[in-house]
Amino acid sequence: MSEVNAPVIEDESLRSRTQSLFIAQQEQAHRNTDKLFAGLMIFQWLAAIITAVWVSPRAWEGTVSTVHIHVWAALIIGGAITVFPVALALLKPGKAITRYVISISQMLMSALLIHLSGGRIETHFHIFGSLALLAFYRDWKVLLTASAVVAIDHAVRGLFWPQSVYGVLTVEPWRWLEHAGWVVFEDFFLIISIKQSLKSTWDISSRQAKLERMNEIIEAKVVERTAELQVEINERKEAEKALARSNIQLTETYVELEQSRDQAIRASRFKSEFLANMSHEIRTPLNAIVGLSDLLVRTTQLTDEQKEFGTIINDSADVLLNLVNDILDYSKIEAGKLELEVTEFDLVELIEGIAELVAQKARSKQLSLVTFIDPTIPRILRGDPGRIRQVLLNLLSNSIKFTDRGEILMRVELISTADDHRVELRFSVSDTGIGLNDSTKEMLFQPFMQVDASATRKYGGTGLGLVISKRLVELMGGNIECESVYGKGSVFGFSAKLEIGPAEQTPVIGPLPDDLRDSRILVIDGPIGTQQILNTYISSWGMRCGHATDIEKASLMIKYESAANDPFDLVFFVLDPSNEEPAEILAALDKDLSPIKPRLVIIGSCADRSFGKQVMERGFAAYLPIPIKQSRLFDCLIGLLGKHIFASDTGENVVPDDQITLPVSQARNLILVVEDNVVNQKVALLQLRELGFPAHAVSNGREALEAVARTEYALILMDCQMPEMDGLQATKAIRKMETKTGKHSLIIAMTANAMSSDRLDCLAAGMDDYMSKPVNQKKLAEVLQRWLPASMQHGSTTSVADTAKVNSTTENAIEIETLFTTYGDKAGKELLESFQADAEHLLQNMASAVKQKDIFTLNDNIHQLKGSSASVYATELAKLSRAFEQAAAGDVYNWELFNEHLHAIEAAFHNTKSISQKALKAKESKIN
Amino acid sequence: MKTSTVVLTVLGSLWILAITVGMFILMRYAHTPSLAKTSGDQWPSHSQITLSKTAPTLIMFAHPHCACTRASIAELGKLVVHCKIKPKSYVLFLSPTSMPSDWEKTDLWHAANSVPGATVLSDINGVEAQKFNSYTSGQTIIYNTKGKLIFSGGITGARGQEGDNLGLNSAILSLQENSSKNQTASVFGCSLISSNSK
């Protein structure tokens, strides 16, 4: 831009842009100034008109006037001056012609105004003001144009009408130059100002161009970054979409998993219910088998063999029960709900009891079954004997199953004793069976796996036993392992950590009397395992044990040692179970060892149960069946070496089992049996009778409620699953009734539902304890002992038979036949006797209470009499007692009336007693 | 050359021309003197105004509504101020009886009153003007003490224009020299009488 003295911009594009901006700014200034002048000129025009109208509105001739020429001049000439530039300003704003015309017209307008104002000097300032305004165009040419108009005007008017311009009559011809000079003088400053303004505009344009350049760069960056961000946003959106898809898939998967879980839970529940139902259905008949076989053995007159058979039935039922438990256990294990019990147990009893259970089976296969318990192990331990038994029975069962000849040895050895009063034991079962190869070992502990399909057909079994055993052992903190040589046999063993029980409760085998110490024992023949065990046991009791491999050597040893004054005190001959001719062996022994026959004990596992009798008949000292029990062996030693009479002919009864007996109870110990199964009901009543407890039986919960409302029971044995009203509902109803009376009946669940949840359900319903079926007498006795007060278990049996007189004529004071039908003859008789004693005592108390006007004692005794009368079907007495109780329950105590009630009750009691005596005598004579 | 340029050039030229013509007419009007007659050489005896015996007597006849007369009154003021010999001055405003009362009392009346030594009077129906043979507003006549006309004419250079002019210079000169020579000048102003009366 030539008019602008601005620094040179080297950048062509920047310079070009600066110039564009500059021109644009100029154009904008021109447009704005055009608009300004358009308005100004219109204003000037109007001002000229107003001025003319104001100053010289009219021209006069005397009294006549016309419009003054100045008004017309202002209107027409002023309009001519104004219209054209204003039109250009509106039609061609910013154009050069517009501003030049404006500059000319503005100067003309000055001339007109000066003229109209009468040439006033003040009006001349319009010219200078207009020039200043024209400078707004920032175009010096505009100023020059305007100045030229001024100069021409002055020149022309100076020439023709100088006074109108200069105010004087005579002027020099170049006077206009003076006026023009003043205008130029102003133009000079205005042009300087224009130059500066243009420079500023140029600078602003330059800065704006640079700013635009910067903006372009920034915008380019922004666009670039935006594009990048867009890519990122697109990627993020894609990722979000992918995430959303994943979420949907996850949600679907979650829903499917929930459905699967729900199905699994339902399936598990169905399975558990099925197992529980199955367990219940199996346990119900098993209960009868266990209970009746137990009673059969214990309470009836049987031969030894019959007792043994009964015992085996009982034990087998237990085994069957264990099988049921296996299935339940597997289910519990799979569900992770199996819980171990911690209870005290006798290790020796446990192990030997296990051996007893499978002994018959071993004998039937002519296998030698031997147990060995390390004598250093404390006998009383704390743990879960049931689970140990379960594992060992499984292992033994397998060993017997897969062993055709030889020996099965069950050992318990001490691994370590910890400081925390715990021992780690190793249980093992070794056999001489078919053994396992390496490939089949791996399959052993897989569920439902057996060595091969033919094994299943040949040996049976479900394949669950070892799996359950493995899990049980792991729960007990141990590991199960298997060592086996194909064709030679296997050893299955596991370790378990158990707490040591109280030392004072530990039964002790031994010690031997001093005179028996150092006795010499000779063991002849037999499997190696049996020999070792005998040797270990005998040595542990302080005796000396020798060994001979056959009868011939034994004979020589006996003779030799006798000659050496150190004879064998006792000789054990271990009869090989596989020997098919045991009678010949006995004959050989009879012949070769005849001198020591009274001290020769035969140990064997002959399947023929009459073999023991044969042994004794041949004059041998004793017969000990395999498996050898520690206690039996010890007793045998004591008996023979100590010259005691060894009474048993089989040895199996050398140490008879403890009989669990309880004293005969009184009538107030009445127990209610709630059981829908008739057989089980009968079993429970018989068991209770044997334990000395009178009992009622009802068939469902509804009847139980009625019975409880009618009679006070010391304890209620409640089955759970019953028709009409089950045991849980009945218990809840009883507890609800008791909230009014404040009493609490003992309720013991007796159910075939063996799941742990069933136990919780029973306790939640308000029961006090829980027994799973089958319930044997021992278990029942334990529960009764636990819950019933000692006074009830050891009640008085004092007879009151001769204290009453029969003075009543009422024959139906007691339903004697119903009593005996309900309780049986024996229990009924005992109950009746107990009732008589009790009632008499209660009557005495009542008489004393009436005498002393002690309403509380009276009420208590009436209530007891009412209950006990009802329990023995002494209906009249019960009725009178109830009436008395109601009379005594009122707010007014009429002691005379009470006395009358008392006399009536005493009379009824004597009548009842008389009838009872007769009935009892009749029963006794019938029994005898 | 573009058509629009040509059109603009033509329009611009016509515009300039029109304005020039207009301005010329306006200038011409401004500098064209009104009809003026020379007053009698001797003071009319039947004038109601008394001739001063001690100083020249100056009478300006004015139309109270003539815009051009403003400049004449202004010039009268200069004349009175600048002359050493102060004339006895009168400003007579036309006061037709046909017009409302105080018709003549305009701003010009008040301006004339402000001229030092000037007596402002109403000229009823222009009787005095006629006596002095004056028919244009702004016409000024000066008589010496002897009643001889020494100046007659306008004291402005153009219509309504103040400033140095030939009439004013002549009036001043006639007063200064107190001569008996009759000076005349063009009169620029409205007519004191209507056309019908002429």
Q: What is the pLDDT of residues A851-872, one digit of tens each?
A: 888 887 888 788 778 777 877 7
What is the residue type of A122? E
Q: For residue B39, give both structure tokens.
A: 């007053």
Chain A residue closest in CA terms to B5: A97
Q: How far is A29 from chain B (nearest CA, A)?
A: 22
Which one of B8, B137, B161 has the shortest CB-CB distance to A163?
A: B161
Interface check A99 vs B, CB under 8 A: no
| High-pLDDT (> 90) share of chain A, % | 8
Q: Which residues of B touch A101 (CB under 8 A)?
A: 12, 15
CB contact under 8 A, B161 and A164: yes
pLDDT above 80 (res A794): no
DSSP E strand boundaries for A46-181? 58-61, 64-67
The DSSP call for residue A545 is E
Distances (CA, A) of A682 to A413, A698, A726, B182: 45, 11, 19, 183
Interface check B169 vs A, CB under 8 A: yes
The DSSP call for residue A494 is E
CB contact under 8 A, B11 and A65: no
Which one of B96, B162, B164 has the shortest CB-CB distance to A63?
A: B96
Least confident of A100-114, A233-247, A735-749: A735-749
pLDDT above 90 (res A51): no
Which one of A61, A97, A104 has the shortest CB-CB distance to B195?
A: A61
Per DSSP, what are the bridge partners of residue A65? A60
- Best residue in A55, A58, A61, A171 for a mutation probing chain B (most B CBs within 10 Å): A61
Instruction: Return d(Cα A722, Cα A694) in angstroms, integer.
Output: 23
Instruction: Return d(Cα A286, Cα A318) in angstroms, integer.
Output: 8
What is the residue type of A499? E
Q: How confident is the model at residue A472 (pLDDT cuts 50, 70, 90)?
A: confident
Other residues' Cβ atoms within 10 Å of the Cβ of residue A611:
20
Interface check A60 vs B, CB under 8 A: yes
Q: Which residues of A touch B26 (CB under 8 A)?
A: 69, 73, 77, 115
Distances (CA, A) of A54 to A50, A914, A919, B61: 6, 161, 161, 23
Instruction: Return d(Cα A350, Cα A631) in angstroms, integer.
Output: 13
The position carrying tokens 């250079």 is B157
Per DSSP, what are the bridge partners of residue A624? A603
Closest C-alpha among A645, A633, A565 to residue A601: A633
* ω into A511 cis (within 30 of 0): yes
Which one of B29, B66, B163 has the shortest CB-CB distance to A168?
A: B163
* ω into A162 cis (within 30 of 0): no
Chain A residue closest in CA terms to B98: A63
Average pLDDT over residues A881-892: 74
Per DSSP, what are the bridge partners of residue A372? A411
Other residues' Cβ atoms within 10 Å of the Cβ of residue A229:
12
Phi–psi pair at B98, nearest 5 degrees? -75, -15
Q: A635 or A401, which is more confident?
A: A401
Instruction: Return d(Cα A494, Cα A602) in angstroms, integer.
Output: 32
Which one of B16, B29, B63 has the shortest CB-CB distance to A60?
A: B63
Number of H helices, E strands in chain B: 5, 6
Instruction: Return d(Cα A313, Cα A296) in angstroms, integer.
Output: 10
**Annotation: CATH topology of A301-508:** Heat Shock Protein 90 (3.30.565)
Interface check A96 vs B, CB under 8 A: no
pLDDT above 90 (res A709): no
Least confident of A577-591, A650-664, A805-819, B34-48: A650-664
Per DSSP, what are the bridge partners of residue B143? B57, B149
pLDDT above 80 (res A753): no
Q: Which residues of B touch A56 (CB under 8 A)?
A: 67-68, 160
Closest C-alpha among A641, A334, A394, A358 to residue A516: A641
Query: Would you state the pLDDT for residue A301?
Result: 80
Residue span(s) of chain A under CATH 3.30.565.10 come to 301-508
The count of CB pairs under 8 A between chains A and B is: 104
Q: For residue A889, give both structure tokens.
A: 């329950």
Q: How confident is the model at residue A457 (pLDDT cuts 50, 70, 90)?
A: very low
CB contact under 8 A, B29 and A69: yes
Instruction: Return d(Cα A605, Cα A365) in angstroms, integer.
Output: 10
The position carrying tokens 């009336």 is A897
Instruction: Return d(Cα A713, Cα A704) in angstroms, integer.
Output: 11
CB contact under 8 A, A80 and B15: yes
Q: A112 or A863, which is more confident?
A: A112
Find out whether A796 and A835 touch, Cβ atoms under 8 Å. Answer: no
Q: For residue A378, give both structure tokens.
A: 């404390």
Phi–psi pair at A437, nearest 5 degrees? -90, 175
CB contact under 8 A, B99 and A169: no
Interface check B16 vs A, CB under 8 A: yes
CB contact under 8 A, B158 and A163: yes
| Buried/exposed B142-158: b ≥16 CB within 10 Å, e otherwise | bbbbebbbbbbbbbbbb
Q: A857 or A449, which is more confident?
A: A857
Interface check B126 vs A, CB under 8 A: yes
Query: Would you state the pLDDT for residue A755?
Result: 61
Q: For residue A145, give both structure tokens.
A: 């144009």
Interface check B66 vs A, CB under 8 A: yes
Other residues' Cβ atoms within 10 Å of the Cβ of residue A333:
19
Reported CATH class of domain A511-657: alpha beta
Which one of A60, A119, A160 has the shortest CB-CB distance to B163?
A: A119
Q: Chain-wide mean pLDDT for chain A? A: 79
Phi–psi pair at A548, nearest 5 degrees? -130, 140
CB contact under 8 A, A73 and B197: no
Alpha helices (H) in chain B, listed in sequence order = 3-30, 69-82, 107-113, 127-131, 166-177
Closest C-alpha among A409, A466, A413 to residue A432: A409
Q: How far is B168 from chain A (nearest CA, A)?
A: 11
Instruction: Return d(Cα A883, Cα A915) in angstroms, integer.
Output: 22
Q: For residue A25, give both structure tokens.
A: 């700014």
Chain A residue closest in CA terms to B93: A62
pLDDT above 70 (res A838): yes
Phi–psi pair at A425, nearest 5 degrees? -110, 150
CB contact under 8 A, B192 and A76: no
Average pLDDT over residues A213-230: 86
Query: Would you state the pLDDT for residue A272?
Result: 67
Interface check A115 vs B, CB under 8 A: yes
Q: How confident is the model at residue B92 (pLDDT cuts 50, 70, 90)?
A: very high
Average pLDDT over residues A332-357: 79
Cβ-proximal residues to A627 (8 Å cutoff; 6+ apart), any chain: A352, A355, A356, A359, A362, A369, A370, A371, A410, A605
Q: Which residues of B touch A66 (CB under 8 A)?
A: none
Q: For residue A398, give both structure tokens.
A: 């397998």
Q: How confident is the model at residue A318 (pLDDT cuts 50, 70, 90)?
A: confident
Instruction: Return d(Cα A803, Cα A796) in angstroms, integer.
Output: 16
Instruction: Return d(Cα B61, Cα B76) in angstroms, integer.
Output: 12
The DSSP call for residue A576 is -
Closest C-alpha among A189, A181, A159 to residue A172: A159
Q: For residue A447, give both structure tokens.
A: 């569920």
The DSSP call for residue A430 is E
CB contact under 8 A, B195 and A101: no
pLDDT above 70 (res B15): yes
Per DSSP, what are the bridge partners of residue A368? A407
Interface check A80 vs B, CB under 8 A: yes
Closest C-alpha among B191, B181, B180, B185 to residue B156: B185
CB contact under 8 A, B137 and A60: yes
Q: How far is A107 from chain B (nearest CA, A)?
A: 12
Interface check B174 vs A, CB under 8 A: no
CB contact under 8 A, A108 and B23: yes
Find out whether A399 and A492 touch, Cβ atoms under 8 Å. Answer: yes
Chain B residue closest in CA terms to A105: B16
CB contact under 8 A, A164 and B191: no
Q: Is A702 exposed, middle or buried (0-12, 13-18, 19+ CB in 10 A)?
A: middle
Q: Which residues of A touch B193 (CB under 8 A)?
A: 61-62
Interface check A155 vs B, CB under 8 A: no
Q: How far is A139 from chain B (nearest CA, A)?
A: 20
Q: Which residues of B touch A71 (CB under 8 A)?
A: none
Average pLDDT over residues A457-470: 67
Distances (CA, A) of A516 to A420, A521, A632, B129: 37, 11, 17, 196
Instruction: Return d(Cα A914, Cα A456) in angstroms, integer.
Output: 69
Which one of B19, B96, B163 has the shortest CB-CB distance to A163?
A: B163
**Distance in angstroms between the alpha carbons of the first and the last residue of chain B:** 59
Average pLDDT over residues A809-825: 67
Alpha helices (H) in A476-550, listed in sequence order = 528-540
Q: Which residues of B touch A63 (CB under 8 A)?
A: 96, 98-99, 194
Q: Which residues of B touch A97 (CB under 8 A)?
A: 8, 12
Q: How confident is the model at residue B121 (pLDDT cuts 50, 70, 90)?
A: very high
Interface check A61 vs B, CB under 8 A: yes
Chain B residue closest in CA terms to A68: B67
Q: Which CATH architecture has domain A816-927?
A: Up-down Bundle (1.20)
Q: What is the CATH number of domain A667-793?
A: 3.40.50.2300
Q: Does residue A349 come out as left (phi exceeding 0), alpha (psi in the -120 to 50 range) or beta?
A: alpha
pLDDT above 70 (res A187): yes
Which one of A61, A63, A119 has the shortest CB-CB distance to B98?
A: A63
Find out whether A381 and A345 touch, Cβ atoms under 8 Å. Answer: yes
Instruction: Return d(Cα A410, Cα B165) in angstroms, integer.
Output: 165
Q: Which residues of A touch B16 (CB under 8 A)?
A: 104
Q: For residue A79, give both structure tokens.
A: 């309009």
ipTM, 2 decimals? 0.87
How much is the CA Rg of chain B, to the nearest whole Å? 20
Please state whether beta strands B57-62 and B88-95 pair in parallel, antiparallel, or not at all (unpaired): parallel
Q: What is the 3-state secondary structure (H, E, C) of A878-912?
A: HHHHHHHHHHHCCCCCCHHHHHHHHHHHHHHHHHH
CB contact under 8 A, B63 and A163: no
Interface check A58 vs B, CB under 8 A: yes
CB contact under 8 A, A169 and B169: yes
The DSSP call for residue A627 is S
Residue span(s) of chain A under CATH 3.40.50.2300 come to 511-657, 667-793
The DSSP call for residue B191 is B
